[in-house]
């Protein structure tokens, strides 16, 4: 019986050979392949300025620095995401202000965003969860009315569309992740999409030691930048991936359609569908407490049947780091329900329809009385 992981990257032979060519070239750090990769991403996003990073976490942190967000400032963000989202807010000295999410879309509740705005609020950092776009029209309407920056955590959303427009082809600042479990990968890496050339120049400094060079190669250091520049090796992987991204996402949509067709457990809450969804993950909510079946036991049983399962994500405000800020159980009931009930089932482009059918049969076999 073949093991089905919950995710698995695909690298074609051309990409593997391309990486070998880079290794032989002697130019391993940022160089021509990074320039080519950023150009390809820019083309994919309709000509936006794109800057690559060693990680999406680093990209988010630099985005906050770019917006001069720091001590005494507040950034509104969802109470259900990966820990990187609020962690970077703390790292620049600001305070993450959590709001709840919608249980169907798992995206930030924009009504609660409006209520959370204070004189200290400087930005909103939404997450396009699992590849489903936030309502960008409402989001930017709120931000503009209150003079706030928007830093979109689009780690799950490369190729996602909102009303026909690709996430990252519009908006303020948009951050992507290219971790191996994402819809495309650079092994590790991320990128920011922005529109302002002046901010783009500052980004170059923030991601590489604050260095500025003149036309004659003389160097100055203008600010205390970090080191987040992508390598040519990673960029070559990304060049191959972006060529296949739309076909990867189309296959993900087909697989999810089959999940919906085969799913039998009516007690579960399946994720919301949308025309522009890129389906980074398929994460139903299973009422384990009501079914009298602990999630840990379910995961062990699935693994025993050769099927990988993830958990995306626990509610952020219940982690010890964020309890120190005064958050408590009961503050965000939807995020807490998701944290208790979510499971992430296998979804990746090389899956077969029969794999989806096997996953659904196995889930039903374990949970049905």
pLDDT (tens digit per residue) in 272-291: 999 999 999 999 999 999 99
Q: Which of 189, 213, 239 is the last residue of a domain?
A: 239
Q: For 74-114, what is each residue's pLDDT tens digit?
A: 999 999 999 999 999 999 999 999 999 999 999 999 999 99
Q: Residue 94 burial (CB < 10 Å; 0-12/13-18/19+)?
A: buried
Residues 19, 168 within the same domain: yes
Q: Does residue 135 lie within any of the structural domains?
A: yes
Chain centroid offset of residue 200 CA: 21
Q: Does residue 5 lie within any of the structural domains?
A: no
Chain centroid offset of residue 177 CA: 6
**For the residues 217-238, what does the mean pLDDT come to?**
95
- Give helix then strand counts, H and E, for the chain: 13, 11
Domain CATH number, residue 270: 3.90.1150.10
Distance between CA atoms of residues 49 and 192, nearest Å: 8
Q: Which of 239, 274, 303 is the last residue of a domain?
A: 239
**Residue 213's pLDDT band (cuts 50, 70, 90):** confident
Q: Does residue 6 lie within any of the structural domains?
A: no
Residue 8 known to be catalytic: no
Q: Which two tokens stand for residue 285?
A: 């909510």
Residues 255, 358 within the same domain: yes
Q: For 166-178, what is each residue's pLDDT tens digit?
A: 999 999 999 999 9
Q: Which domain holds residue 289?
A: 245-367
Q: Does residue 177 lie within any of the structural domains?
A: yes
The helix (H) or strand (E) run that includes residue 61 is: helix 56-66
pLDDT at 214 over 90: no
**Residues near 110 by Cβ (< 8 Å), separated by ≥ 6?**
134, 135, 138, 139, 142
Q: For 62-74, what is each residue's pLDDT tens digit?
A: 999 999 999 999 9
Distance between CA atoms of residues 69 and 215, nearest Å: 31
Q: Distance between terminal CA atoms of the chain? A: 25
Determine the pLDDT at residue 180.
Answer: 97
Catalytic residue among 51, 182, 202, 251: 182
On whether the CB atoms of residues 193 and 176 are closer than 8 A, the answer is yes
Residues 216, 259 within the same domain: no
Q: Does residue 218 lie within any of the structural domains?
A: yes
Residues 230, 104 within the same domain: yes
Residues 169, 277 within the same domain: no
Determine the pLDDT at residue 216.
Answer: 85
Q: Does residue 253 lie within any of the structural domains?
A: yes
On whether the CB atoms of residues 332 and 317 are closer than 8 A, the answer is yes
Residues 145, 191 within the same domain: yes
Residues 18, 101 within the same domain: yes
Residues 71, 156 within the same domain: yes
Q: Which of 224, 239, 254 is the last residue of a domain?
A: 239
Domain CATH number, residue 71: 3.40.640.10
Q: Does residue 4 lie within any of the structural domains?
A: no
Residue 4 sits at φ, ψ, to 5 deg, of -105, 105
24-54 residues labelled b (16+ CB within 10 A) or e (exposed): eeeeeebbebbeebbebbbebbeebbbbbbb
Residues 27, 139 within the same domain: yes
Distance between CA atoms of residues 21 and 116, nearest Å: 51
Residues 81, 191 within the same domain: yes
**For the residues 312-340, what does the mean pLDDT come to?**
98
Split into its structural domains, the chain has a count of: 2
**For the residues 333-351, what does the mean pLDDT come to?**
98
Q: Which two tokens stand for residue 311?
A: 């958990």
Residues 260, 305 within the same domain: yes
Residue 194, CB half-sphere, CA atoms under 13 Å: how many? 24
Q: Does residue 7 lie within any of the structural domains?
A: no
Residues 168, 264 within the same domain: no
**For the residues 314-325, what does the mean pLDDT come to?**
98
Distance between CA atoms of residues 346 and 161, nearest Å: 23
Note the pTM of the prediction, 2 decimals. 0.97
């Amino acid at each position: 019986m073949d093991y089905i992981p919950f995710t698995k990257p695909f690298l074609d032979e051309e990409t593997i050979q391309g990486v070998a060519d880079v290794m032989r070239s002697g130019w391993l750090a940022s160089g021509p392949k990074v320039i080519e990769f950023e150009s390809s991403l820019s083309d994919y996003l309709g000509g936006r300025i794109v800057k690559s990073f060693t990680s999406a976490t680093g990209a988010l942190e630099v985005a906050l620095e770019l917006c001069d967000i720091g001590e005494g400032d507040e950034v509104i963000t969802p109470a259900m995401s990966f820990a990187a989202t609020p962690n970077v807010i703390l790292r620049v000295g600001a305070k993450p202000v959590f709001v709840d999410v919608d249980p169907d879309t798992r995206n930030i509740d924009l009504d609660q965003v409006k209520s959370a705005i204070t004189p200290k609020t400087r930005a909103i950092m939404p997450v396009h969860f699992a590849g489903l776009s936030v309502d960008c029209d409402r989001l930017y309407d709120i931000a503009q009315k209150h003079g706030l920056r928007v830093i979109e955590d689009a780690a799950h959303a490369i190729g996602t569309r909102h009303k026909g427009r690709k996430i990252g082809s519009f908006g303020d600042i948009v951050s992507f992740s290219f971790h191996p479990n994402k819809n495309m990968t650079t092994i590790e890496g991320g990128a920011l999409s922005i529109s302002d050339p002046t901010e783009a120049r500052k980004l170059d400094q923030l991601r590489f030691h604050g260095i500025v060079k003149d036309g004659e190669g003389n160097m100055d250091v203008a600010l205390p930048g970090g080191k987040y520049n992508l390598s040519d090796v990673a960029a070559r992987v990304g060049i191959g991936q972006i060529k296949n991204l739309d076909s990867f996402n189309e296959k993900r949509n087909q697989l999810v359609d089959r999940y919906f067709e085969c799913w039998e457990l009516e007690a579960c809450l399946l994720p919301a569908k949308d025309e522009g969804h890129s389906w980074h993950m398929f994460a139903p909510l299973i009422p384990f407490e009501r079914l009298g079946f602990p999630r840990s036991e379910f995961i062990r049983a699935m693994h025993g049947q050769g099927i990988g399962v993830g958990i995306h994500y626990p509610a952020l405000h219940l982690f010890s780091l964020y309890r120190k800020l005064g958050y408590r159980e009961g503050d965000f009931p939807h995020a807490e329900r998701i944290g208790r009930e979510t499971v992430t089932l296998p979804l990746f482009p090389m899956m077969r329809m029969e794999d989806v059918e096997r996953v659904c049969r196995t889930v039903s076999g374990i949970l049905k009385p």
